[in-house]
């Protein structure tokens, strides 16, 4: 994972569910951060710090990418993704609805649940969840496309580095890579003790 870490963006979190994504800071690819986003939760007792929300998002197996459509309907699609710093890399076909929508409006959100366990005796669910808001860029630089696909391979295919490298090269020209830069992130946790019983 050493290779992934060196591409992490600079930027400090606040103690609340709000962060600046580094508007005055350039990452290794020269991308500039976006504006702050206020993501304060109604249930503040279940809110987690942004750093913890990032960990929740990073550990989730999949998420739902929500885009802005032209037909007044929300458009959410399940995606595999890999978090690197304050960005998430997503791969898709170079043509299709996602690419068309992102080209017209790059604003998006990414929602994921890292844990969900029903606690029937308390009529509730034990869960960790996170939602990030930001903007999507279609990666045009071949080096960044490789980097994003490598991050995905390290998450979903650990231990297959050499095989993944060969596969990435063979698929590079027919694969689009999206970089979702976070403007803000919030996390929510419902921790229910295991020893609770119906009263």
Q: Is the pLDDT of residue 17 over 60?
A: no
Token pair, residue 181, equals 């830069």
Q: Express as a percent the part of the chain with pLDDT over 90.
A: 53
What does the pLDDT read at residue 1? 39
What does the pLDDT read at residue 4? 39
Token pair, residue 174, equals 């027919």
Q: State the average pLDDT over residues 84-108.
A: 95
The residue that leads in pLDDT, 36 or 87, is 87
Q: State the average pLDDT over residues 15-25.
A: 42
What does the pLDDT read at residue 8? 38
What does the pLDDT read at residue 161? 84
- Picking from 101, 129, 139, 119, the residue whose alpha carbon sits closest to that of residue 186 is 129
CB 72 within 8 A of CB 41: no
Residue 104 C-alpha from the chain's centroid: 20
- Tell me the pTM: 0.76
- Picking from 85, 113, 112, the residue whose alpha carbon sits closest to that of residue 10 is 85
Report the range of poorest mean pLDDT among 29-38, 67-76, 143-152: 29-38
Cβ neighbours, 10 Å, residue 25: 13
Task: Please provide the average confidence, as pLDDT, over all residues in the chain.
Answer: 79
Strand runs labelled E in the chain:
47-48, 63-67, 75-79, 82-84, 87-92, 107-119, 124-138, 176-190
What does the pLDDT read at residue 94? 94
| Fold entry, domain 2-190 | Pnp Oxidase; Chain A (2.30.110)
What is the Cα–Cα distance from 50 to 102, expressed in whole angstroms? 25
Q: Is the pLDDT of residue 20 over 80?
A: no
Q: Is the pLDDT of residue 151 over 90?
A: yes
Q: Is the pLDDT of residue 166 over 50?
A: yes
What does the pLDDT read at residue 2? 36
């Amino acid at each position: 994972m050493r290779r992934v870490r060196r591409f992490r963006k600079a930027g400090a979190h606040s103690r609340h569910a709000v962060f600046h994504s580094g508007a005055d800071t350039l990452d290794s690819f020269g991308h500039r951060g976006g504006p702050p986003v206020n993501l304060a939760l109604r249930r503040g007792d279940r809110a987690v710090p942004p750093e913890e929300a990032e960990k929740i998002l990073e550990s989730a197996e999949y998420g739902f990418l929500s885009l802005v459509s032209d037909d007044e309907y929300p458009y959410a699609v399940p995606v595999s993704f890999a978090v690197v710093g304050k960005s998430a890399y997503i791969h898709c076909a170079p043509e299709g609805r996602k690419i068309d929508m992102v080209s017209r409006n790059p604003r998006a959100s990414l929602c994921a649940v890292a844990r969900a366990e029903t606690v029937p005796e308390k009529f509730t669910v034990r869960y960790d969840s996170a939602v990030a808001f930001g903007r999507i860029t279609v990666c045009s630089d071949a080096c960044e496309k490789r980097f994003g696909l490598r991050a995905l391979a390290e998450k979903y295919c650990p231990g297959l580095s050499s095989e993944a490298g060969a596969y990435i090269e063979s698929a590079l020209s027919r694969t689009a890579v999206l970089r979702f830069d976070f403007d803000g992130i919030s996390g929510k946790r419902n921790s229910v003790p295991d020893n609770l019983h119906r009263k």
